[in-house]
Amino acid sequence: MKYRIGVMGSAQGPTIKVQENIKKAIEIGQEIAKADCILVNGACPGLPDEAAYGAKNVGGMTMGISPAFSEEEHTKTYKSPKENYDIIIYTGMGLMERDLINIRSVDAIIVMGGGVGTLNEFAVAFDDMKIVGVLTGTGGVSDHIDKILEICGRKVEDYVIFDSEPKRLVAKVLERLTKYPRPVTEDERIFKSGKGE
- Residue 162 belongs to a domain with what CATH number? 3.40.50.450
Checking if the pLDDT of 197 tops 60, the result is no
Q: What is the pLDDT of residue 47?
A: 98
Q: Which domain holds residue 26?
A: 4-192
Split at pLDDT 50, 70, 90, the class of 185 is confident
Question: Structurally, how many domains does the chain consist of?
Answer: 1
User: Whole-model pTM?
Assistant: 0.91
CB 32 within 8 A of CB 7: yes
CB 43 within 8 A of CB 65: yes
Residue 169 lies in a domain: yes
Residue 197 lies in a domain: no
69-109 tens-digit pLDDT: 999 999 999 999 999 999 999 999 999 999 999 999 999 99
